[in-house]
Structure 1
Amino acid sequence: MSVKQYLCGPCLVDKGEIVGVVYCRECEEPLCGHCKQDHARIKVSKHHKLVDFADVPPKEIHEFLKNLIACPNHEKQEVVSLCKDHDMSCCNKCAMADHRKCEEVKVLSDMVHDIKVDCTGLKTVLHDLQQQSESLLEHERKHEELVYEMKSKVVSSLQTVKQKLLNMYTQLENEVLSSIADKKKVIGEKIKTNNEQSRQFLNHIKQQLAFIENVEQFGTNEHVLLLKRKIEKESVCRLKSTVDE
Structure 2
Amino acid sequence: MATSSKDLEHFDDLLTCTICLETFKFPKYLPCLHTFCEACIQTHIVSSTQKEKESEGFKCPVCRKIVSYSKTAEKPETWASTLPTNYFVMSMLDKRAIHRSKKLCNSCQVNNKTQEAISWCTICEEAFCEQCDECHKSFKFSAKHKLVSIKDIQAGNSDFKISGVLSCEEHPEKIVEVYCMDHSKPCCTLCATLSHRKYENVTSIENVATGIKESKHTTNLGKTLDVRNKEIDEILENRKDCLSKIETTSENIIQEMSTLKREIIGHLDKLENKIKVELNSSKKTCRHAINR
TM-score w.r.t. structure 2 length? 0.38
TM-score w.r.t. structure 1 length? 0.44
Relative contact order, higher structure (CA 8 A, sep 6+)? 1
* Structure holding more helix per residue: 1
